Amino acid sequence: MGCRSDLGEEEPYRWQLPQGGIDKGEDPEHAARRELLEETGIHSVELLSSTDEWLTYDFPKEVIGKRFNKYRGQAQLWYAYRFVGEESEIDLDQSNPPEFQQWDWMNIKIIPELIVPFKRHVYAAIVSSFGPLGSGNIR
């Protein structure tokens, strides 16, 4: 999980999984690998699974216009990967400015608690889909 670098210390929900947009004509799984690399430097992964359906959320009214002028929400297809590299591969300075200021391995069961409330149902679906894949840790 990554701790967002664009939110202040006073924001209680700064953690999220790497995520991003899909370029026109880009395969969603390729986009997931590209975003993972761009945000974390991670490239040594093996695909384990994906969500069966697109997961959606809307931005709350108090967020639209403050941080998101162009979008009203998102639809996301999520992928689970096994990290097979060395931790030295992780480099949060891949993008400018960096998306994350910090990262940590976390138990998949606790991640919905760390997410902004309007995304929690998406992260609960991620836990339901991917929790049984391994030890329970997001790696």
Residue 10: pLDDT band by 50, 70, 90 thresholds? confident
* Mean pLDDT computed over 48-53: 95
d(C-alpha 94, C-alpha 38), whole Å: 5
Q: Which residues of 73-103 are buried (b: 16+ CB within 10 A; e: fewer)?
A: ebebebbbbebeeeeeeeebebbeebbbeeb
What per-residue confidence (pLDDT) applies to 33?
A: 97
* Mean pLDDT computed over 103-118: 93
* CA–CA distances in Å: residue 54 to residues 10, 125, 131: 31, 10, 18
What per-residue confidence (pLDDT) applies to 12?
A: 82
Instruction: Indicate whether 8 pLDDT > 60.
Output: yes
Residue 134: pLDDT band by 50, 70, 90 thresholds? low
* Mean pLDDT computed over 69-77: 85
Instruction: Indicate whether 68 pLDDT > 80.
Output: no
State which H helix or E strand residue 121 sits in. helix 120-130
Instruction: Indicate whether 55 pLDDT > 70.
Output: yes
What mean pLDDT is reported for the chain? 90
Domain 2-138 class? alpha beta
Instruction: Indicate whether 139 pLDDT > 60.
Output: no
